[in-house]
Amino acid sequence: MNKFLHIIFFLFLYLSVDAQELDRAVQPANSDLQIAGQYFKQEEYLKALDFLEDLLENSRNIQAYEMGLTCYLALEDYDNAIDLAKDWSKRIPGQKNRFDVDELSVYLLTKEERKAERKFENILELITKQPNQAYFYGKALQDKGYPKMALQAYEEALKKESRLNFDYQMAQLYGELGDIKKMYDNYIAMVERTPGYLPTIKMFLAQGISADNPDDENTLYLKEELIKKIQAGGAPQLNELLIHVFTQENNFRGAFLQLKALDRRNAIAPGQLNSLAKIAFNAEEYTLSANIYQYVMEKGEADGFYQGAVLGHLSARKAEQSQKAETEPKDWANLAEDYEKYRRAFNGDPYQGEIILGLADIYAYRLNQQDTAAQILQGMFTKGFLGSEDIARGQIAYADLLLYQGKRWDAIIYYRKAEKLLERSPIGQEAKFKRAKAAYYVGDFQWSQGIFKILKESTSKLIANDAMQYSLLITDNMALDSTTEALETYAKADLLFYREKLDSALYYLALFDVAFPEHPILDEALLMKGDIYFKQKNFAEAERAWQKIVADHSKEILADDALYRLANLQINQFANSEKAMEYFEKIFIEYSDSFYAAEARNSYRNLRGDQLN
């Protein structure tokens, strides 16, 4: 045993000494490279080359090579740069492509055209003999910024071996060169050859196709080519690619027609129609969204996506009617009947929760049948087949209705119930925020302020932002007004606005001109006044209120909000692009930190482009 331990000890000692010797050999080289790197960063290239000399002559360290080549080029020592590339091409044959392209780039840099031509011809000759080398030379040429030469390299290889696949590389190069049609040809070839590329190609196309330019000749070309290939019996994935193109253009009707054609051949992915309907809904194409869902519903209840289609269909019709300037009561009554029909059909089904919420909303706020809405919502709380999320949403909807009816304390109770049911979820956060708002409406500002402060850290950006706005409103105005009378008046107007008692809200806001003409809350009152007039379609008064903020409260936090509203008013109600541009420009120049700054800049550019066209 002792003999064995002695052997182990001496072996360990030998290895330790050997490792130390190796460290001493490697350390100077590493040290030289580090010192050279420091001089290189300081652009002291001659000093850097002094420390690189041994590495460039004897090592295979690519970092040293790259640094040395750059030093020679910076010093315009082109002969040494060429010699270095040639020397390393022999030293590391496995990376010959890199060094050959470096040599070529020096000739091109120094405008030695004959030498450059000869070198490139040598590269093409090598590719002719070994077509696989095109992968490496093509990439090296592209990385150096020679897309045309890279394309030639790939084309030369394909002449000798047509089975090689450079579709992806060539698509990239055509894109760099601005030949978008050929880029699209290669994208199509990629999908035909390797269907697994479809998600990647979709991602690439999403970056280049815009709904703002439906007549773009390149996009038209892409669609024409896809349709030709589909009609000629091309790969099924080309259908999906065409649908994706239509969707990117917001041409949901074209996508729907293509999906229906696929559906008739049973060549459609499950749920694809419902997905398209949802995309159309999010783009506010409510009529088309409803029609797509209707198409799915017509497949019958046995279809796995039937229930989702019913919910989507009802929601799309509801959104469509809400979007209209005027909707007849009979239209809401007809929609309520359809909701009732499916409420009965889905009895005992978890999907019923969504239907109840939509139906209650129609009864409460469209048909003025608030007692019926309350009864329907209360019925949700005892349905065992509904999940806690639906019940919490029902409690929030019921609390909203109570608040709308002026029952503020009752509303607070139900917001709290929903909050406790889903404390840490987004729905629980929404309930907490609404409870704080209800407390604010009641006039208990300290209580509501405490909740708003907590919600400023909410995971929901929207809730966090709104909570911050209310927190600032209370903090700023309680600090300056010991009686909180102005804040109470504003809160009453805010609640009446929520309850759609618009004239009553305007009455309280008018008090500011008389009772609180110098109060800091005046800009908030003016913003709300403008919003109420806008809702009443009294656009001239809305404009006057918002303009007063810009004129008299330009240093206040709401000035950019007022400008943003004014700009959109000019576009949508007054058709005055010139004036809208003035307001947008003011936002991104004078309020560059504004939430609206980026959007204002884009809107300004779009309007300016329209005028130039």
List all residues 6 or more positions away from 235 whose beta carbon is below 8 Å from its beta carbon.
191, 192, 195, 229
Instruction: With beta carbons less than 8 A apart as the criterion, state whether 394 and 357 touch.
Output: yes
C-alpha–C-alpha distance, residues 557 and 561, integer Å: 8
Count of other CB atoms within 10 angstroms of residue 385: 13
- Confidence band of 8 (pLDDT split at 50, 70, 90): very low
DSSP 321: H
Distances (CA, A) of 309 to 256, 290, 315, 316: 15, 9, 10, 10
Query: In this predicted structure, what is the pLDDT of residue 73?
Result: 94
List all residues 6 or more positions away from 19 whose beta carbon is below 8 Å from its beta carbon.
none
- Confidence band of 4 (pLDDT split at 50, 70, 90): very low
Tokens of 37: 């790197």
* Type of residue at 151: L
Secondary structure of residue 576 in the 3-state scheme: coil
Tokens of 354: 């969504």
C-alpha–C-alpha distance, residues 129 and 126, integer Å: 5
Angle at CA of residue 389, ends 387 and 395, nearest 5°: 105
Average pLDDT over residues 331-351: 94
Up-side HSE of residue 147: CA atoms within 13 Å toward CB? Answer: 12
Query: pLDDT, tens digit, for every residue of 112-124?
Result: 999 999 999 999 9
Q: pLDDT: is 611 or 496 the higher one?
A: 496
* 328 backbone dihedrals φ, ψ, rounded to 5°: -65, 145
Query: pLDDT, tens digit, for every residue of 263-280?
Result: 888 777 778 899 999 999
C-alpha–C-alpha distance, residues 590 and 579, integer Å: 16
Secondary structure of residue 265 in the 3-state scheme: coil
C-alpha–C-alpha distance, residues 355 and 344, integer Å: 10
Burial readout 39-58 (b: 16 or more C-beta within 10 A, e: otherwise):
bbeeeebeebbebbeebbee
C-alpha–C-alpha distance, residues 83 and 181, integer Å: 41
C-alpha–C-alpha distance, residues 53 and 64, integer Å: 9
Average pLDDT over residues 481-501: 88
Instruction: With beta carbons less than 8 A apart as the criterion, state whether 376 and 359 touch.
Output: yes
The CA dihedral of 564, 365, 486, 431, to the nearest 10 degrees, is -90
Count of other CB atoms within 10 angstroms of residue 453: 16
Query: pLDDT, tens digit, for every residue of 85-99?
Result: 999 999 999 999 999
DSSP 468: H
C-alpha–C-alpha distance, residues 124 and 104, integer Å: 12
Q: Which helix (H) or strand (E) holds 25?
A: helix 2-41
Distances (CA, A) of 154 to 103, 107, 129, 147, 148: 20, 22, 13, 11, 10
Secondary structure of residue 166 in the 3-state scheme: coil
C-alpha–C-alpha distance, residues 414 and 421, integer Å: 11
* 158 backbone dihedrals φ, ψ, rounded to 5°: -65, -30
DSSP 594: S
Query: pLDDT, tens digit, for every residue of 445-481?
Result: 999 999 999 998 888 888 998 899 899 888 888 766 5
Query: pLDDT, tens digit, for every residue of 286-302?
Result: 999 999 999 999 999 99
List all residues 6 or more positions away from 511 whose beta carbon is below 8 Å from its beta carbon.
489
DSSP 59: -
- Confidence band of 9 (pLDDT split at 50, 70, 90): very low
Closest alpha carbon to 603 in 577, 590, 595, 593: 577
Average pLDDT over residues 308-335: 93
Query: In this predicted structure, what is the pLDDT of residue 506?
Result: 96
Average pLDDT over residues 44-52: 92
Q: Which residue has the tokens 């000692």?
A: 13
Query: In this predicted structure, what is the pLDDT of residue 602?
Result: 92
Mean pLDDT (the chain) is 89
- Confidence band of 16 (pLDDT split at 50, 70, 90): very low
What are the E-state strand segments in 463-609?
none
Tokens of 494: 């805010």
Query: In this predicted structure, what is the pLDDT of residue 78?
Result: 94
Environment class of 221 (CB within 10 Å of its CB; exposed 0-12, middle 13-18, buried 19+): middle
Average pLDDT over residues 134-150: 95
pLDDT(15) > 80: no
Query: In this predicted structure, what is the pLDDT of residue 22?
Result: 33
Percent of the chain with pLDDT over 90: 73
Instruction: With beta carbons less than 8 A apart as the criterion, state whether 460 and 426 touch.
Output: yes
Query: pLDDT, tens digit, for every residue of 511-524?
Result: 998 888 888 889 99
Helical H segments across 283-328, by residue range: 286-297, 306-323
pLDDT(10) > 70: no
Query: In this predicted structure, what is the pLDDT of residue 246?
Result: 92
Average pLDDT over residues 182-187: 94
C-alpha–C-alpha distance, residues 420 and 398, integer Å: 15
Average pLDDT over residues 530-558: 95
Query: In this predicted structure, what is the pLDDT of residue 612?
Result: 41
The CA dihedral of 322, 325, 328, 332, to the nearest 10 degrees, is 0
- Confidence band of 30 (pLDDT split at 50, 70, 90): low
